[in-house]
């Protein structure tokens, strides 16, 4: 069977059809077939949304890890257990081994699945950015915004800050309208209205909620969009297509930006985790952190209630 005949979507569908027929011939259980089909169709959707791989041979280890990271970001809790990650890797490996064994070019994907998993999910430690990494990222974003000032420089700057400083989920960010952000009536110690209130109509719980962010953090970005794109209904619109930016494209864009800033940490949920860790370290109040993240159950917030080595050292000094 020919490895590649046309574009990546058509070739993938052709191989997926062949593989599903192969599984049925092997008489696998109905449940196994459903699980394999679900994961492999999720990969198809990811292929159709991304713009990095143009053909099957472009799919390498980084591509598959990006896919798993993307699915993890979109999962219910924002992270996968070790068992779930192993399941994804196994299904992808079996499928691409099938392609390797049955294509006329003898092309193999074997090396792309030498993926090792470190540690275990017990006592899972939340991944987040250190203060130094936040400073590096903010300096890089500001430099791009000031020296280039393209549409997408402002898009990524605003999106990242909303996750990092307001604790928003990416789905909440991408659904925002300009009218959803307004000056709060809350006053600081000097009587200044220093906060924006963000009205969230589309949340994980399905309930309308409100988040807070300092005005100084996103004032320049809001001015840019209100001055240049005030007639647009939503903020996060693709520049040319005039459609909502898809979270997979936003994920890829942020990943590229992080790499250019010299940071190797992946995922969008890492910004929300960083927001929580910074707030808890500052306030030492788990209830405040719970309200900031808008968690319904404090048990979810408790994963942030641990001290870093630097905190221990400071307490000992």
Residue 166 dihedral angles phi and psi, to the nearest 5°:
-105, -10
What average pLDDT score do residues 75-88 get? 81
- Report the C-alpha gap between 258 and 252 in whole angstroms: 10
DSSP state, residue 303: G
Rounded-to-10 torsion of CA 16, 48, 42, 157? 160
Is the pLDDT confidence value at 307 over 60? no
Mean pLDDT confidence for 198-211: 78
Share of the chain above pLDDT 90, in %: 46
Residues 6+ apart with CB under 8 A from 172: 200, 202, 203, 211
Instruction: Report percent pLDDT > 70 for the chain.
Output: 86
Res 123: pLDDT: 47
Interval 272-291 mean pLDDT: 78
Q: Convert the pLDDT of each residue in 148-190 to its tens digit.
A: 999 999 999 999 999 999 989 888 899 999 999 999 999 989 9
Query: What is the reported pLDDT for 119?
Result: 46
As a whole number of angstroms, the distance between CA 87 and CA 80 comes to 10
pLDDT digits (tens, 9 = 90+) for 231-243: 788 999 998 877 8
- Helix and strand tally (H, E) in the chain? 13, 3
Confidence of residue 316 (pLDDT cuts 50, 70, 90): very low
Tell me, what's the pLDDT at 49?
Answer: 82
pLDDT digits (tens, 9 = 90+) for 207-239: 788 899 999 999 999 999 999 987 788 999 998
Can you give the pLDDT at residue 315? 52
* pLDDT score recorded for residue 122: 46
Confidence at residue 207, expressed as pLDDT on a 0 to 100 scale: 73
Token reading at 176: 């925002």
- Does position 42 have pLDDT exceeding 50, yes or no? yes
Per-residue confidence band for 128, with pLDDT thresholds at 50, 70 and 90: confident
Q: What is the mean pLDDT of the chain?
A: 85
pLDDT of residue 21: 92
Q: Who has greater pLDDT, 104 or 122?
A: 104
* Per-residue confidence (pLDDT) for residue 117, from 0 to 100: 54
Which 3 state secondary structure label does DSSP give 103? coil
- Per-residue pLDDT band at 298 (split at 50, 70, 90): low
CA distances for 113 relative to 56, 84, 266, angstroms:
15, 16, 19
Query: What pLDDT does residue 39 have?
Result: 95
């Amino acid at each position: 069977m020919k490895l590649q005949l046309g574009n990546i979507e058509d070739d993938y569908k052709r191989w997926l059809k062949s593989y599903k027929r192969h599984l049925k011939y092997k008489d696998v259980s109905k449940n196994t077939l459903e699980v394999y089909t679900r994961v492999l169709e999720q990969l198809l959707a990811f292929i159709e949304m991304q713009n990095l791989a143009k053909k099957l041979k472009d799919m390498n280890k980084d591509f598959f890890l990006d896919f798993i990271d993307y699915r993890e970001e979109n999962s219910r809790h924002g992270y996968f257990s070790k068992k779930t990650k192993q399941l994804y890797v196994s299904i992808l490996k079996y499928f691409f081994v099938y392609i390797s064994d049955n294509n006329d070019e003898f092309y193999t994907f074997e090396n792309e699945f030498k993926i090792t998993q470190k540690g275990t999910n017990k006592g899972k430690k939340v991944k987040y950015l250190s203060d130094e990494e936040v400073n590096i990222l903010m300096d890089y974003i500001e430099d791009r915004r000031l020296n280039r000032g393209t549409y997408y420089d402002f898009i990524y700057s605003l999106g990242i800050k909303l996750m990092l400083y307001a604790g928003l989920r990416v789905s909440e960010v991408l659904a925002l309208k300009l009218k959803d952000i307004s000056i709060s009536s809350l006053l600081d110690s000097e009587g200044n209205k220093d906060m924006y209130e963000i009205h969230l109509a589309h949340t994980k719980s399905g309930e309308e909620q409100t988040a807070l962010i300092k005005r100084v953090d996103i004032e320049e970005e809001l001015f840019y969009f209100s001055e240049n794109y005030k007639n647009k209904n939503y903020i996060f619109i693709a520049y040319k297509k005039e459609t909502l930016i898809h979270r997979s494209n936003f994920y890829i864009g942020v990943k590229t930006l992080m790499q250019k800033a010299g940071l190797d940490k992946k995922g969008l949920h890492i910004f929300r985790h960083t927001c929580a860790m910074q707030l808890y370290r500052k306030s030492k109040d788990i209830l405040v952190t719970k309200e900031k993240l808008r968690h319904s159950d404090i048990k979810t917030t408790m994963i942030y209630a641990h001290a870093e080595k630097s905190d221990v050292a400071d307490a000992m000094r």
